[in-house]
């Protein structure tokens, strides 16, 4: 499949089957995130992989406060994305330009991860709603680390794509002219 077919097929899945995800496919997803670009090659990320077992349902519960993300009960796999310390050059560049690059880099890595999942017949959902304290305790993540995202991965129960509702191109694109 070409790139434009791939990005058209990627969507946030909220209806997974309980089919286990093969470890080799998950490693390929992490590899895609690992090679994502980052400011000053800082690579300010690490990943905790929860693949089935007794931890997956417990992880799902950490994503469900206030009635959110109930669909994760059926999600077999989670990738917890941690923010790591940026390199000195990325920190200095960020100070000079008043930019915090790590969240941008983490978003790019998560996109790579999700596209790799789609390319392998998997579905994914990026989530920013979770109980960070409970998740850290569950997965033995040090308290000084920040969890930035959790990506649910699995096989979609429904392979019919939803229509993407996006702003029209004319609303988001401006051609710069002299």
Per-domain boundaries in the chain: 3-172
User: 13-39, pLDDT tens digit by residue?
Assistant: 999 998 999 999 999 999 999 999 999
CATH 3.40.109.10 describes domain 3-172? yes
pTM for this predicted structure: 0.93
Give percent above pLDDT 70 in the chain.
Answer: 99
Cβ neighbours for 79, distance < 8 A, ≥ 6 positions apart? 26, 29, 30, 47, 48, 49, 50, 113, 150, 151, 153
Q: How many CB atoms lie within 10 A of CB 33?
A: 23
Q: For 73-86, what is the mean pLDDT?
A: 94
Is the pLDDT confidence value at 97 over 80? no
pLDDT of amino acid 95: 74
User: 107-156, pLDDT tens digit by residue?
Assistant: 999 999 999 999 999 999 999 999 999 999 999 999 999 999 999 999 99
Strand partners, 77: 51, 153
Q: Do 10 and 48 contact (CB within 8 A), yes or no?
A: no
pLDDT of amino acid 10: 96
Average pLDDT of the residues of the chain: 94
pLDDT class of 159 with cuts at 50, 70, 90: confident
Between 99 and 157, name the one with better pLDDT: 157
pLDDT of amino acid 101: 87
Residue with tokens 């206030």: 66
């Amino acid at each position: 499949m070409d790139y434009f077919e791939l990005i058209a097929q990627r969507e946030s899945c909220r209806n997974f089957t309980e089919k286990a995800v093969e470890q080799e496919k998950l490693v390929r997803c992490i590899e895609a995130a690992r090679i994502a670009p980052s400011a000053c090659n800082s690579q300010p990320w690490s990943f905790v992989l929860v693949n089935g077992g007794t931890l997956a349902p417990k992880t799902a519960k950490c994503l469900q406060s206030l009635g959110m993300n109930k669909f994760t009960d059926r999600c077999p796999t989670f990738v917890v994305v941690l923010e790591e310390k940026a390199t000195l050059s990325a920190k200095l560049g960020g100070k000079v330009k008043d930019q915090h690059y790590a969240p941008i880099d983490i978003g790019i890595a998560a996109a790579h991860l999700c596209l790799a999942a789609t390319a392998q017949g998997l579905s994914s959902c990026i989530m920013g709603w979770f109980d960070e304290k409970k998740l850290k305790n569950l997965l033995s993540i040090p308290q000084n680390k920040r969890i930035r995202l959790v990506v649910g991965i699995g096989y979609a129960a429904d392979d019919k794509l939803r229509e993407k509702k996006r702003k029209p191109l004319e609303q988001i694109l401006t051609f710069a002219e002299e």
